[in-house]
Amino acid sequence: MTLYYLLALFIAIILHEISHGWAALVFGDTTARDAGRLTLNPLSHIDPVGTILVPLLLTLSGLPIIGWAKPVPVNVGRLRHPRSQAVWVSLAGPATNAVLSFLGWLLCRLSLALSPGSSAFVIGGGFVTTNLNYAWLFNFGFALGVVNLFVGVFNLIPLPPLDGSALLERLIPTRRLNGYYRIRQNLLIITMIVVLVDSQTTHLLSRLFVHLESWWWSLL
């Protein structure tokens, strides 16, 4: 399943980023389009560390895989209504992950439907399928669904550089924004260090992944 999870993550984070650029374009910001970043060519979005190195290291460590693609440039100042529309631009990423997670569910259901007498159930905390004619389709759908659910929920945490920070920013009074922008870069660095290094945080993320995985499976 590891390869399925890595492929699902690759799809999840790249389409997540592209969706930010498309949402910004809808609201008047052409920065991503002008930079050629609205393409589906993965080479334009790969970050050597976030797209390749970190997911591989997490996989080898037995931890939930998470990563990031090269951020799509967005100029909030070019949005027609910057403060409100910036939130929607940020939420476009998790929304895309939700759609992809649903697509994964559809693929799993299709695999089961194409396999008469097949079943999917849980034994001792493990996920088991029987009599599947298209196991690869089910495995890919499962990975696509679970990984996108995890990426979407993770990005809603209200800390920079995650998308949820846009919701936090929207709650900050305009007169306080300059101060927030001054400390945001430091918050970004702190957030990434905590997520990747702190053992308690990685444990919490592991538990979150397991719970989301179990919940997603229960929908089949």
- Distance (Å, rounded) from C-alpha 19 to C-alpha 38? 8
> Burial letters for 31-44: b for 16+ Cβ neighbours within 10 Å, e otherwise?
bbbeeebbeeeeeb
DSSP-based helix, strand, coil % in the chain, nearest 5: 70, 5, 25
Catalytic residue numbers read 17
Cβ neighbours for 34, distance < 8 A, ≥ 6 positions apart:
none
Dihedral sign from CA coordinates of 174, 178, 180, 184: positive
Our CA angle for 49, 68, 199, nearest 5°, is: 80
